[in-house]
Structure 1
Amino acid sequence: MKLSVVVTLLNEEDNIQPLLTNISKALTGHEYEIILVDDGSTDGTVRNIRKHADEHVKLVIFNKNYGQTTAIAAGIDYASGDYIITMDGDLQNDPTDIPVMLEKLEAEGWDVVAGYRKNRQDGMLLRKIPSKLANALIRKLSGVHIRDYGCTLKIFTKQAAKELDLYGELHRFIPILAKLKGAKITEMAVKHHPRIHGTSKYGIGRTFKVISDLILMLFYQKYFRRPIHLFGPLGIIALAVGGLINFYLLVEKLLGKDIWGRPLLILGVLILLAGIQFITFGLIAELMMRIYYESQNKKTYSIKDIFIGESKNTSIPQTTI
């Protein structure tokens, strides 16, 4: 199988028929499959898929709503193509971009080509402005310079997609996850259409989730394999500051001054205890990290390829005497 198109769906009954038609037209001449993941729809989405599906379609039905990240992960698990494409099922992504993205990936040797919505057809106040601010913040903190983290339309090599390890609601941070695995990432402008049927599943309330996930991603990016490097320095600094405060108060006590009940005493004790806790957290996190890898025979590295050279006949011909 050449291409696997993974589409996540939640209450998109009116979009099914045009979605399948558009993908089929765009991929004419390619060997492809369409993996539709129904994320607990409560309308006629599944019914319409069964009605309009052809031999290219594979449907994965969740028994309840698990979220877009889990749906993407399931679609990737069931995909068998050499290249895996992710896209939304709301008709805002355009399947005609897929062959162009595939050509760029193959010709230039990328592992991931991420789309960015050059002319985004969404509301300015509730969608575009928050998205621009979030994208700028993620780029600044992560160091992965992708213009549009919210665009689902991406194409991956099979290896890059299968190694993403998607959990929670981390689909917005797929470029960072891929980068952590050593994938080479680029981006290109893609078309974006206004939503015609159905309603958006996103609102301004997702901002807090994005910030929380960003904190997790920064920890995952920098300290997942060495958590003591985060908690250790914090603990040492806290111990040093708490120790200095308490030493100062000890001197005050020896000089005959009353230190009982002073806010500084409480602060010094709290900082000292915080330092002990930070170091303890770091040690526990280190043990958990080792259990995570060793109990499942996981490696702390990822190999892209292995090359074994061929034997060359370099024997020197014998000289006749």
Structure 2
Amino acid sequence: MAQPEISVVVTIFNEEGNIPPLLKAIYASLSSIDYELILVDDGSTDRSVEKMKALANERTRILVFNKNYGQTTALAAGIDHSNGQFIVTMDGDLQNDPSDIPMMLEMAKKEDWDVVAGRRANRQDGFVLRKLPSKIANWLIRTTTKVYLSDYGCSLRIYKAQIAQNMGLYGELHRFIPVLARQEGARMTEVDVKHHPRIHGTSKYGLSRTFKVIADLILMLFFQKYFQRPIHIFGTLGLLSLALGVLVNFYLLVVKLMGEDIWGRPILLVGSILVLGGIQLITTGIVAEIIVRTYFESQNKKTYSVKATHQGGQEAN
């Protein structure tokens, strides 16, 4: 089977009302492109799977999970089963518009972008529950990760296949996909895309995700700065804690030698905690370094990524 130009990965969870217009829009928008469509059903409990089976064409594959694993896992499964030169991701709620895909594909090919991300220029969502939390999250992610995209919440994106397939999607990291792509050295840009109000079904997002986003952001910052060198953060903090503990205990020793009673002083407890905490942090850093080396060496992974090689006037990717 020849490699298609693009693989379109759509995540579905209880979207039975959106399936018919969604597939109709995708088929019409991609009629002039060599594509494959991968629909990933994330454990729907309605008739979404039946609708997909009834309307799927010969270019469509359906992956059906046995339970709900979450959007990140659904995206990872779709990407793993993709064969295209480029991979497009989008939600199945019809708020993304498939008619934007040809324009984004042309931009990726002509300007050699690794990632073209959609930006919802006229977002059709409620302000208090959707837009405001999203604006705060976007600002926080941009500021801390230094990956300057305007709209991290827009799932309509197009990637070169080698970028998408090496990102390593786990947990609930779909909002941080641009950060993961940048860690792979991706060149990315944004483009305005259409956005529609939800007509069928209910949104799967809300304010309850705020703390999860913050927790995932902490994880992303660790991955971004210290994934290959965890001893630099654990060792630095451990040495600082150990040094402070030694200073506190030295002060207490001097006080003791001067004849004062140090038993029961809160500072004695502080000094002990700092010393023990410092030792524990340094030990954690060493263990983390061993785990990182096991991660890379056991799977023959490299700590670098080569974009292209040149020899004798010829280029090999």
User: Is the TM-score greater than 0.5?
Assistant: yes
Q: Does 1:200 align with 2:203?
A: yes
User: Which of the pair has more CA radius of gyration?
Assistant: 1
Q: Does 1:143 align with 2:134?
A: no
SS in 2 for 1:60: strand
SS in 2 for 1:307: strand
- Taking the TM superposition and a 5 Å limit, the aligned residue runs for 1:280-295 are 280-295=283-298
Stretches of 4+ moved more than 4 A in 1? none
What runs of 5+ residues in structure 2 fail to find an aligned partner? Answer: none
- For residue 15 of structure 1, the aligned residue among 9, 13, 18 is 18
Q: Does 1:169 align with 2:178?
A: no
Query: Percent sequence identity over matched residues?
Result: 62
Q: What is the CA-CA distance between 1:118 and the residue it aligns to?
A: 1.1
- For residue 133 of structure 2, the aligned residue among 125, 130, 134 is 130
What runs of 5+ residues in structure 1 fail to find an aligned partner? Answer: 312-321
- Taking the TM superposition and a 5 Å limit, the aligned residue runs for 1:68-87 are 68-87=71-90
Match of 1:117 in 2: 120
Which deviates more, 295-304 or 10-19? 295-304
Q: What is the CA-CA distance between 1:310 and the residue it aligns to?
A: 6.0
SS in 1 for 2:98: coil
- Taking the TM superposition and a 5 Å limit, the aligned residue runs for 1:66-105 are 66-105=69-108
Match of 1:33 in 2: 36
SS in 2 for 1:146: coil
Distance (whole Å) between structure 1 residues aligned to residue 11 and residue 194 of structure 2:
19
Write the letter of the residue equivalent to 1:26. S
Q: What is the CA-CA distance between 1:162 and the residue it aligns to?
A: 1.1
- For residue 261 of structure 1, the aligned residue among 261, 264, 282 is 264
Write the letter of the residue equivalent to 1:246. N
Distance (whole Å) between structure 1 residues aligned to residue 284 and residue 22 of structure 2:
49
Distance (whole Å) between structure 2 residues aligned to residue 20 and residue 184 of structure 1:
30
SS in 2 for 1:198: coil
- For residue 53 of structure 1, the aligned residue among 53, 56, 59 is 56
Match of 1:315 in 2: none
Write the letter of the residue equivalent to 1:112. V
Distance (whole Å) between structure 2 residues aligned to residue 11 and residue 212 of structure 1:
27
Write the letter of the residue equivalent to 1:270. I
Question: What value does the CA root-mean-square deviation take over the aligned residues?
Answer: 1.0
Say how many residue pairs are matched: 311
- For residue 236 of structure 1, the aligned residue among 236, 239, 243 is 239
SS in 1 for 2:77: helix
Q: What is the CA-CA distance between 1:303 and the residue it aligns to?
A: 1.8
**What are the superposed Cα offsets for residues 189-248 of structure 1, whole Å, 9 maximum, x if unpaired?**
111100000001111110011001000000000000000011111011101111111111
TM-score normalised to structure 1 length: 0.95
TM-score normalised to structure 2 length: 0.96
Distance (whole Å) between structure 2 residues aligned to residue 76 and residue 305 of structure 1:
23
Write the letter of the residue equivalent to 1:41. S
Q: What is the CA-CA distance between 1:3 and the residue it aligns to?
A: 1.3
Q: Does 1:182 align with 2:193?
A: no
Q: What is the CA-CA distance between 1:295 and the residue it aligns to?
A: 1.0
Write the letter of the residue equivalent to 2:167. L
Q: Does 1:211 align with 2:227?
A: no
Q: What is the CA-CA distance between 1:142 and the residue it aligns to?
A: 0.2
Match of 2:157 in 1: 154
Distance (whole Å) between structure 2 residues aligned to residue 30 and residue 287 of structure 1:
47
